[in-house]
Amino acid sequence: MRLIPVLIVGALVMGARPAVAQQPIADSTRGLEKRDGYFPLYWDAAKGRLLLEIPSGRLGRDFLYLPSIATGLGDANLGIDRGTIGREQIARFERVGPQVLLVLQNPQFRAVGDSAALARSVHESFPLSTLAAFDLLAEEGGRHLVDATTFALSDLSDVRGTLRGGDQGAFQLDARRSTVFLPRTRAFPRNTEIETSLTFTTDQPGSSIQAHAPEPRAITVRQHLSLVQLPDAGFRPRRFDPRIGLFPVTYYDFAQPLDRTARS
């Protein structure tokens, strides 16, 4: 008799976990508008959903993740201006049970060389960042389909933090007034582009927002996200030269000898 409650609780807990989807992707996307490319997109106009497919062979593979701001607030000093590029990152999709995770890698800290043990030690000494967890809608032949709507409509560029830091108010993202911006949501052979229209609200907008927005308590900006294929194996970047007027790409290489700096 003592085992019965435990068995019942265990069954309920297991039943609460989402089942791994097994139906074909074609069944889950029938009637939807497909935008084929690096990561194919499917637009569900009836439900306002944006589905994303991870093609066979691209799960667990690195790609370039780059958020940006497509439209500004009329005051470049706020740091939210048209075309503002965010921090580029190396990301990958990883399958864990019934979920697919979007994980940012940490190539700033490396051990370049032949020692796998040292490379693993450095990798495990610094954190990664898991940006999102998607429920798996369907899978077929190594392809995985997820609902990317909630993630795409989130504040990936930290507009709220930028406004708060600029004394422009404690804004909140209004999901009901935020949508996918279809004219600039596209997919190409080597990159997938997702653009959204995000609305932020507050009861006490700052002076710059009051001066530039038609209704300062509700401002709408467009956010862009690029998912880009990395160069093929063997790609050699051009060596940095300070005369070109750009910033170098640097990282810490813990495989360097002790008499040399770890920053490369």
The model's pTM is 0.85
For the stretch 117-154, pLDDT in tens is: 988 988 889 999 999 999 999 999 999 999 999 999 99
Q: Please check whether residue 200 is in contact with residue 163, taking contact to mean a CB–CB distance below 8 angstroms.
A: yes
As a whole number, mean pLDDT of residues 43-57 equals: 97
Tens-place pLDDT, residues 7-42? 444 444 445 555 555 678 999 999 999 999 999 999
Worst-scoring range by mean pLDDT, 164-168, 208-212, 226-230, 232-236?
A: 232-236
Q: Terminal CA-to-CA distance of the chain, rounded, Å? A: 65
Residue 76 pairs in a beta bridge with none
How high is the pLDDT of residue 109?
87
DSSP state of 73: -
What is the rounded distance in angstroms from the CA atom of residue 252 to the CA atom of residue 238? 19
146-200 per-position pLDDT tens digit:
999 999 999 999 999 999 999 999 999 999 999 999 999 999 999 999 999 999 9
Report the candidate in 218, 223, 134, 227 with the shortest Cα–Cα distance to residue 179: 223
pLDDT of residue 248: 76
SS3 51: strand
Q: Exposure of 217 by Cβ count < 10 A (0-12 exposed, 13-18 middle, 19+ buried)? A: middle
- Residue 48 near residue 179 (C-beta atoms within 8 A): yes
